[in-house]
Structure 1
Amino acid sequence: MNRVAYPHDRARAVWLDDYIERVITHDFTEQGHRIRQPELLRGWLRGYASATASATTFAKIGASLDPGEPTGPTKKTSIAYRDVLSSLYQLDQVDAWSPSRKLLSRVALAPKHILADPALAARLLGLNAVKLMSATGPATNNRDRTRLGDFFEALVALSLQTYAAANDAKLSHFRDNDGRHEIDFVIHRGDAEAVGIEVKLKSAITDQDFRHLLWVKESLPDQIVELVIINTGTHAYRRQDGVAVIPLALLTA
């Protein structure tokens, strides 16, 4: 099969490579943090990109590296990387939500890792539009499909962060310790009203897709005021059970 031609593929790759290089060799120095081993930071960035939309630990991110060094960065170095990248607005992590004493003992408190732009994560991992979009086909590689889902969730997070900030609210996520229940995103104002949001890389929504949303609504009926699924469809609508289905394209319009 011939390669599908995507315009400006080459130019986009060069621009992203230059941007990443500038962050490593110039922006860190401007923040007073000299990088003695650029490849170690580059490898850490790849590890962070690989952890997109997950709540893995920084220790595991560091342990996944193979930048040509016998060991990855120390925990202290990893934290320094995180702090500088956050100050440069390159990281947009989503903290865990602790809604109430009723659920507090079940809550996992690790943040979700998200780079400021999923295009940076894709480039760090050597993924282009052709490879990512081929993950939607019938002979999909499960790993590529998962990557595409993670990047889609990261793109959703960018829009939700914007809307939350404009309404003096905060974007969080929820996951219990045993992994039985997970809510992709929660928009809330402190301990007051909250909106539960699931993200689905699909256009057709089924009852199975929002079982976790219904669980959190049943657990916190006075706090959860809206349930939303963000998908790849073309029309927004509300199901008979009250769950709102909204295409991502409408959020970013």
Structure 2
Amino acid sequence: MDFYKPRILDHLLKRKLSGKGAVLIEGPKWCGKTTTAEQTANSILYMANPTHLDEYLNLADIDPSLLLEGTTPRLIDEWQIAPQLWDAIRFEIDHRNQEGQFILTGSAVPADSNKIQHTGTGRFAWLTMYPMSLFESGESNGKITLTALFQQPEKIAAANPLTIHDIAFLVCRGGWPRATFMDREIALDQAYDIYEAIIHSDISRVDGIQRNQERTKKLMRSYARHSGQSVPLETLRKDILNNDMDRLDSATISSYINALKKIFVIEDVESWNPNLRSKAAIRSSDTRYFVDPSLAAASLGIGPNDLLNDPKTFGFLFETLCIRDLRVYASALNGKIYHYRDSYGLECDAVLHRRDGSYGLIEIKLGGERLIEEGAKTLKKLSNTIDTTKMNEPAFLMVLTGTGSYAYRRKDGVYVVPVGCLSF
């Protein structure tokens, strides 16, 4: 299987290499970090190669510069196996005095940070890689771009290639690159295999702390049930305790959550803090999400048919899919995805805020005219609440949907865009 589907990160990697000595690509296992880095690298060191692992580890202790020799940019894959390479790379960058020297990939935060003496400021750039968006995997036709929406077009038009059955499948398959080449039934197995690896080894290997497998399952299941919600730690703890006879304190839950974050399994969405005309208090708690909806589906032990029979759960996991895609697209636009919720109960699923201060407000609805109308009203209400004497007005308002035949602009200016039409 030698196919490569271009990634949005391809361009970002080359741009970052033009301005820094090294670029670190982080992200979950199996999301395509190494394969993407290989497209740009001119020499490669696979640290995890079992044939040479002991030799590499010895050299990393004795003379790490030998591991860094090779045509640039040189890829150091799974560099965190020997964290001391970080300072060696920093030293090489300083003395070579050239950009674009190294690419590092890693699926976990180094366990032994004591072996790193320098932060890498000025020498390293960081990129986070996610599983594939629908545009990257080929399921979205990409005819409606966020770049264009920031220009506020008077008209948009595109046909949605995806049915509700397609969306259910894509939620459960996820954006794992190799799975996009597989037959449907085999593709659906992949997220479950990743989930099992997390439970059985990854969550413990990240920092050497042995964690209870059943407790990890319960936490991931609880996280999946609360996808897209700003629930406090105590809510998760009580949810797990319903089926956990052992004493379970908040510190233990935090330890498990932090481990899952370190291996890029979960990534919550931060709260957006705009200037408001109203006296509403902005809720600052993060919103809970997996990096890919398929991990939530695997945690719940469900498949496409289960989602079709459970619209509420389907809606939550569809939102996770959309947040994943929006994160990927935002990275290409110098932007970041946030969530908004205030003390009056006004809530917006996603805010794409760019470095230049422009932003778009996005409501996510699986489908149906009633829900689209509800989303549009929420967007208009939030837009009218923002104090535009202190900040820009939103560049666009969009209801991002799963179903619906077309992308279009409503009379009130709100864009309705199926996720199967969206790209960056």
TM-score interval, normalised by the smaller of the two chains: 0.7 to 0.9
What secondary structure is seen at the aligned counterpart in 2 of 1:228? strand
Distance 1:97 1:203 in 2: 27
Distance 2:250 2:355 in 1: 30
Partner of 1:60: 235
What per-residue deviation string (whole Å, max 9, x for no partner) do you get for residues 34-75 of structure 1? 234211111111111111111111210121115853146421
Partner of 1:159: 325
User: Contact 2:241–2:248 (CA<8 Å) still a contact in 1?
Assistant: no
User: Contact 2:334–2:355 (CA<8 Å) still a contact in 1?
Assistant: no
Partner of 1:233: 404
User: Relative contact order (alpha carbons < 8 A, sep ≥ 6): 1 or 2 greater?
Assistant: 2
Q: 1:185-224 residue pairs with structure 2 within 5 A? A: 185-189=350-354, 192-204=357-369, 207-220=373-386, 221=388, 222-224=392-394
Q: 1:40-189 residue pairs with structure 2 within 5 A? A: 40-65=215-240, 69-71=244-246, 73-100=248-275, 102=277, 105-133=280-308, 135=309, 144-179=310-345, 181-189=346-354
Structure 2 gaps, min length 5: 1-168, 170-182
Alignment size in residue pairs:
237
Residue 37 in 1 paired to residue 207 in 2? no
Kindly provide the amino acid, as one letter, of the partner of residue 41 in structure 1. T
Distance 2:264 2:393 in 1: 31
User: Contact 2:269–2:286 (CA<8 Å) still a contact in 1?
Assistant: yes
Identical residues among aligned pairs (%): 26
Change over 3 Å in CA distance of 1:185–1:28 after alignment to 2: same
Change over 3 Å in CA distance of 1:14–1:248 after alignment to 2: closer
Distance 1:67 1:20 in 2: 22
User: Contact 1:40–1:67 (CA<8 Å) still a contact in 2?
Assistant: no
TM-fit CA distance, 1:186? 0.5
- Higher mean Cα deviation, 205-214 or 67-76? 67-76
What secondary structure is seen at the aligned counterpart in 2 of 1:211? helix
User: Contact 2:351–2:359 (CA<8 Å) still a contact in 1?
Assistant: yes
Structure 1 gaps, min length 5: 1-5, 136-143
What secondary structure is seen at the aligned counterpart in 2 of 1:29? helix
Kindly provide the amino acid, as one letter, of the partner of residue 407 in structure 2. A
What secondary structure is seen at the aligned counterpart in 2 of 1:185? strand
TM-fit CA distance, 1:153? 0.7
Kindly provide the amino acid, as one letter, of the partner of residue 411 in structure 2. Q
What TM-score results when the alignment is normalised by the length of structure 1? 0.84
- Higher mean Cα deviation, 214-223 or 114-123? 214-223
Distance 1:73 1:16 in 2: 28
User: Contact 2:266–2:289 (CA<8 Å) still a contact in 1?
Assistant: yes
What secondary structure is seen at the aligned counterpart in 2 of 1:241? coil
TM-fit CA distance, 1:191? 8.8
